[in-house]
Amino acid sequence: MIAALENLAPLWRMGAIVGTVLVLATLVLAVLQVVRPGAYLAELWARTRSWWIMASVFFAAAAAGPWVSLVLFVFMSFWAMKEYVTLLPTRAADHAALVLAFFAIPVQYLWVSMEWYGMFIIFIPVYMFLMLPIRLVLSKETSGFVASASQIQWGLMAFVFGLSHMSYLARLPEVGPGGARADGRALLLFLVFVVEISDVLQFIWGKTLGRHKVVPTVSPNKTWEGLIGGVLSASAVALTIRFLTPFSALETFGVAVLITVAGFFGGTVMSAVKRDFGVKDFGSLIPGHGGMLDRLDGLCYAAPVFFHYVRYFYT
């Protein structure tokens, strides 16, 4: 049976692994329901149910092909940007610039679909960076100008530019030094799985052993015990899916540490954003998790870091 599993394409093999993890998580919850029933379980059930749905959507999109996954990524960036912009203290004069910012989402993914790397990598940091303030100037309102220009550009960088790296990662060609092969789609599975499992493991370590807070003013739930336990255990788990990567065992562990730490900082930065806006969650799209951004926060950071690591060393 193991041998049969090894012959599967990476996507299906990964699907089997994620399915097993989810079945186990569901069983653990069912046991807890009997052994230690309580109100705390309701949220865990909601979260697990949402994990089932998110994993199904993700694998269905991946299996359906590049165009369907592109639509999913556009939707993820769009929804994340929506959540962020709704919380922004926008001015009436920002309307046209915001229209432009949302227009930039499909355009950024158009470059991805064309695999036009040069344009993909400069469109938001250069062209949108120059155009947004121009559009704001044309609205003739100078009070709050710098705040608006900065806030809108920051959202585009984090939720459109940053997240679109996941989409481009899936299109990286299968080349590498010394015959090592980097299959972009397999690497995307690796990135998402490691970052998300690290988030779950940080939660579990933090809940069970957490004592010392990392950044108490930003995120009181993030502890050193959770961070270190989560990063190390997720990186150990990453070794079991090394078949997705061109990395050696040592490198797999190192890369996993890199992206889980990046993911931790992504989550912390988005927590600071929420604190600033005075909200607990970015939205209510995903029951038990919050909004789209509450789930994608770590990936906003981990995706660009991982993408450029792979691109630099393996293409």
Closest distance between other proteins and the C-beta of residue 84, in Å?
A: 11
Nearest to 302 by CA among 252, 256, 270, 262: 262
Binding residues for other proteins restricted to 232-271, rule: CB under 8 A: none
Do 156 and 174 form a contact (C-beta atoms < 8 A)?
no
**DSSP per residue, 28-84:** HHHHHHHHS--THHHHHHHHHHHHHHHHHHHHHHHHH-HHHHHHHHHHHHHHHHHHH
Give the nearest distance from C-beta 283 to other proteins in angstroms.
Answer: 7
Output 266 or 283, the one with its CB closest to other proteins: 283
Give the Cβ contact number of residue 194 at 10 Å.
26
Which of 202, 101, 159, 204 is CA-nearest to residue 301? Answer: 159
Give min distance, CB of 77 to other proteins, in A.
Answer: 12
If binding is defined by CB under 8 A, does position 196 make contact with other proteins? no
**Alpha-carbon gap, residue 143 to 140, rounded angstroms:** 9
To other proteins, the closest distance from the beta carbon of 6 in angstroms equals 40
Q: Dihedral of CA 107/110/114/120: which sign?
A: positive
Q: How far is the CB of 119 from other proteins (least distance, A)?
A: 24
Name the residue nearer to other proteins (CB basis): 82 or 165. 82
**Inter-CA distances, 3 with 7, 13, 39, 135, 242, Å:** 7, 11, 43, 59, 16
What x-and-dash track marks residues 74-113 binding other proteins by CB under 8 A?
----xx--xx-xx---x-x--x--xx--x-----------
* Ranges within 281-300 binding other proteins (CB under 8 A): 283-284
Given the complex with other proteins, which of 72 and 258 has the nearer CB atom?
Answer: 72
Query: In this structure, what token pair is assigned to residue 77?
Result: 């960036």
Q: Smaller CB distance to other proteins: residue 149 or 302?
A: 149
Identity of the residue, 87 or 191, whose beta carbon is nearer to other proteins in the bound complex: 87
Which of 1/92 has CB closer to other proteins? 92
Instruction: Please count the residues of this chain forming the interface with other proteins, following the rule CB under 8 A.
Output: 14
Tokens found for residue 248: 């050696």
Binding-site ranges for other proteins (CB under 8 A)? 78-79, 82-83, 85-86, 90, 92, 95, 98-99, 102, 283-284
